Amino acid sequence: MPTEPKPGRSLVTRQAVVDLVRTATVGSYGVTGFAGRPHERLLGRLGLAQPGIAVHLGAQIDVDLDLTVAFGVPVAEVARQVDSAVRYSLHHALGREVRRLTIHIDGLRFGPGGAPPSVVHVETAAVGPRDLADSGTDVA
């Protein structure tokens, strides 16, 4: 098994970089999918584009992501997880750094239970903090 490096170069396609970014992003906590404009989604169904991912290759790599996240998870934490996962993945696979990674959260996706109720109904017979305070009970 040779241990000496051989001169040459390797080429990585844009699609390979997009695949690395997609895999790292979908595997991150709270990400439910990619958002995109209607024409991007159409091109994605035809297999001509990946909606929600834009990669610009040059001396350095720039990545723009449009994501949907799960309802109820901290959006800032999801963004931190995605940032870390994408940067690690590209550095580990290609040995190159990401110059700019922009993450847009374009929507929330609700789980199987559906959307949360928009109005909270309070029972009129329920005991509240004011009732407890008026009764002489210590309220913390």
Instruction: Provide the 8-state DSSP code for 47.
Output: T
Burial 96-120 (b: 16+ CB within 10 A, else e): eebeebebebeeeeeeeeeeeeeee
Instruction: Return the pLDDT at 140.
Output: 45
CA distance 69 to 86: 16
Dig out the tokens for 93 from the structure: 């696979």
Instruction: Return the pLDDT at 10.
Output: 76
Domains and CATH numbers, the chain: 14-111 (3.30.70.1350)
For residue 12, which of 57, 52, 43, 51 has the smallest C-alpha distance?
A: 57
Model-level pTM greater than 0.85? no
The label of the residue with tokens 């590209």 reads 90
At 90-123, the pLDDT tens digits run 999 998 899 999 999 988 887 665 556 565 555 6
Q: Which residues of the chain have pLDDT under 50?
A: 139-140
